[in-house]
Amino acid sequence: MKKTLVLATLVLAVTAFGAAQTADSVEDARTVYNNQTDQVPDFLASIVGGERINVEINESGDITTIGVVMDGIKAEKVQLGGVENETINGYVERQTLDDIASSNDPLQRTVTAIKEDEITYSATSTSGKLKLGVIDLLKDLVGALF
């Protein structure tokens, strides 16, 4: 379950970043996200720490890539256009992010989106592949818990 929470945490962060359209708004989204990480369990920091994540947001065929470099649970760097040497790639439709952002229960909506493959992901590093492999194994278990 904790791996799915990791992915859900990252997706929620990207939901905030996904609304950003300029460098200033990306920095503002990073600050907002980082100011809310006290609500995230400490053990997640060791899991997502050091990951370099690119998320492709598809809006009617137009792709926007948001790159996030994690330092523990904090987003150290966020940039439009993605980051180099990413360890995890995520793929999501803009409508899914909008649904998560407007949901009364964003975490539950995120878990549902992951279970229903509205959010997909792949890893480019061994550590990323191990983390995502566990997420895949736990999809059904987490679905039963939520």
Q: What are phi and psi of 12, to 5 degrees?
A: -60, -40
CB burial of residue 21 (10 Å; 0-12, 13-18, 19+) = exposed
| Domain residue extents for the chain | 2-145
Q: Convert the pLDDT of each residue in 96-135 to its tens digit.
A: 988 887 888 877 787 788 788 898 888 887 777 776 666 5
Which pTM value belongs to this model? Answer: 0.75
CATH annotation of 2-145: 3.30.1050.10
